[in-house]
Amino acid sequence: MSMIRTNAVKGGKLLPHTNSAQLLGIDLATLNGVTQDSRFVGAGFLFAALGDGRNNDGRKYIREAIDSGAKVILSDKSVTADMVKGANLVTSDNPRRDFSHIVAEYYAKQPSEIVAVTGTNGKSSVVHFTNQLWSAIGEDSTYIGTLNNFLTTPDPVSLFSLLSQMFDDGISHVAIEASSHGLSQYRLDGADINVAAFTNFTQDHLDYHTDMENYLSAKLRLFEELLPVNGVAVLNADVPEFHDISGICKIRGIRVLSYGHNGSDIVLQECMANGVKQDVTLQVEGRIFDLSIPLVGEFQIMNLLCALGCVIASSINDERRINKLIDAMPKISPVLGRLQHISDKTGDYHGYVDYAHTPDALRTVLKALRNHTKGRLICLFGCGGDRDKSKRALMGQIASRLSDVVIITDDNPRGENPSQIRQEIVEGIACESKNIIVVDDRKKAILKGVQLMNKEDILLVAGKGHEQGQVIGGEVIPFDDAQELLNAFLTNSTSHSSCGR
């Protein structure tokens, strides 16, 4: 039975068909399913045999898919008819993009308001904050991304089947993280996006994109190709890329809503650290608001302003609605693993867990915490294995320059030698001028960080954030930085009086 659904619900929409399937000669009504994973092929399925030049080349599994009942094989023009005996072959110049459109057409339905957020850092926080603000004004909303156990941007089948289910469940508003991988692999093509947001752009994922130009080009697809001309671009006016992206939008006739110190629509006039909060003065649509926000770090305020821009851009607004949004901002909940505050039971010792795993993210978090630190700032971090090696020494330099004590430990070493990764970080540090400690066990490293603390110190545990496991070799070992930091505070609670420099 076809899974195409056609019954509209309040707050949802039927997707305007792009007719990709029809143009390729595929009758969706005769299909029992669509997949790009040969393990999930059933009788009457379309199997997308997508080649990526990497390990997971779907063209290797064509015969397995046909044996499992696939009736249609979609692939590139390197695949010939004699390779797909027993099934219909459909070839395309861009099978990834066509597959995403086909999947979107197959599932047919999506929530009425879709916000897509891209940028190197801040995507998870923005979609989480956007969902909170929508909920505060009574919208049926959710978000898709890292924090609710998806890939940052899910594969097309996971994404569009989920959007269709959300439609059926009455969800009208959804915010999606749009990763550079997801954009370059066309996973979001076929999504009926209303609002696209850009947070910032710094070094990351060069193991995949090879250079910064390719990395940025992947992100720009959101504004060049995916956001329709009647959509809205929400842009950070304080980053160098603002002028290029706003220029793209101007050429295409897309409205821009800008935020930040240099923003035109949402202006950050003042931001002052105040304990575990920040006192903020905003100008929104010409009106001034003074707020106390329960977030640490100006960059988190920027993420919240991006979310505010996304909510404002996604609907028609009046003064009453804006007032509701402003009233919700001081009640915003911090995001799990994003400068997540952890203290001991007395409230005298304070640590933060953050997902910062890129040079710029680590720099930004350390600068943010410095404004809240009366004593020493202790930075604990590592770097992931089988990822961009060029950032390791750079992150060591940043930690050394911006913190008083650096604890180097393991992140997710994956298939690499953990000691080699640690050594490459150390090479970036001027050891003679800093207090450097290397601990080869992350749990022991966190306890060591707590043992070093005085009452006015702050400990940052960076790199893994919300993650619930540590990848060592081919095994995922349960591990939660926030829980380990809390455990370390409890373990060390009777010995703080002897802690010192």
Residue 323 corresponds to which amino acid? N
pLDDT higher at 311 or 206: 311
**Cα–Cα distances in angstroms (integers) from residue 20 to residues 122, 152, 403, in the given order:** 33, 26, 54
Please identify which residue in the block is written with the tokens 């370390």. 488
Examine domains 12-93 and 340-493 and report if their fold is the same: no
Tell me which CATH homologous superfamily contains domain 340-493. Mur ligase, C-terminal domain (3.90.190.20)
3-state SS assignment for residue 342: strand
Helices 390-402 and 418-426 pack at an angle, to 10 degrees, of: 50
Domain ranges (residues) in the chain: 12-93, 108-331, 340-493
pTM of the prediction? 0.81
Give the tens place of pLDDT for each residue, 165-209. 999 999 999 999 998 888 989 999 999 999 999 999 875 544 554
Please identify which residue in the block is written with the tokens 């650096």. 406
Position 397 pLDDT exceeds 80: yes
DSSP string, 259-295: EETT-SSEEEEEEEEETTEEEEEEEETTEEEEEEES-
Q: What is the largest CA-CA distance in the chain?
A: 76
Give the tens place of pLDDT for each residue, 16-29. 446 788 889 999 99
Q: Report residue 260's pLDDT band, with 50, 70 and 90 as the boundaries.
A: very high
Q: How far apart are the first and last CA of the chain?
A: 69
DSSP letter at 337 equals T
C-alpha of 487 from chain center: 28
Spatial distance between the Cα atoms of 78 and 91, rounded to a whole number of angstroms: 9
Topology (CATH level 3) of domain 108-331: UDP-N-acetylmuramoyl-L-alanine:D-glutamate ligase (3.40.1190)
Position 210 pLDDT exceeds 60: no
Structure tokens at 213: 């130009």
As its CATH architecture, domain 12-93 has: 3-Layer(aba) Sandwich (3.40)
Rounding to the nearest 10 degrees, give the CA dihedral for residues 338, 147, 238, 133.
-100
Mean pLDDT of 251-261: 97
Give the tens place of pLDDT for each residue, 124-159. 999 999 999 999 999 999 999 877 655 567 899 999
HSE-up of residue 209 (Cα within 13 Å, Cβ side): 22
Please identify which residue in the block is written with the tokens 């961009």. 388
**Cα–Cα distances in angstroms (integers) from residue 345 to residues 258, 383, 478, 485, 491, in the given order:** 42, 30, 24, 12, 11
Counting every residue written for the chain, the total comes to: 501
pLDDT at 52: 63
Structure tokens at 44: 């009457």
Spatial distance between the Cα atoms of 75 and 97, rounded to a whole number of angstroms: 11
Mean pLDDT of 241-265: 96
Spatial distance between the Cα atoms of 253 and 248, rounded to a whole number of angstroms: 9
Q: What are phi and psi of 410, to 5 degrees?
A: -95, 145
Cα Rg of the chain (Å, integer): 24
Q: Report residue 431's pLDDT band, with 50, 70 and 90 as the boundaries.
A: low
Please name every residue paired with 460 in a beta bridge, in sequence order, or none if there are none: 352, 379
Give the tens place of pLDDT for each residue, 59-82. 999 999 999 999 999 999 999 999
Angle at 486 between CA 484 and CA 487, to 5 degrees: 60
Spatial distance between the Cα atoms of 349 and 371, rounded to a whole number of angstroms: 16
pLDDT at 13: 45
Spatial distance between the Cα atoms of 111 and 116, rounded to a whole number of angstroms: 13
Residue 160: name the closest of 5, 315, 1 by CA.
Answer: 5
Residue 351: name the closest of 438, 435, 276 by CA.
Answer: 276
Residue 501: name the closest of 426, 409, 435 by CA.
Answer: 435
Work out the mean pLDDT of the chain and round it to a whole number: 89
Helices and strands (DSSP H and E) totals, the chain: 16, 23
pLDDT at 234: 98
Composition of the chain by helix, strand, coil, percent to 5: 40, 20, 40
pLDDT at 208: 52
Give the tens place of pLDDT for each residue, 24-54. 999 999 999 999 999 999 999 999 999 765 5
Spatial distance between the Cα atoms of 346 and 35, rounded to a whole number of angstroms: 53
3-state SS assignment for residue 136: helix
pLDDT higher at 306 or 120: 306
Checking DSSP bridges between strand 350-354 and strand 340-343, what pairing results, if any? antiparallel
3-state SS assignment for residue 61: helix
pLDDT at 427: 86
Structure tokens at 126: 């923005």
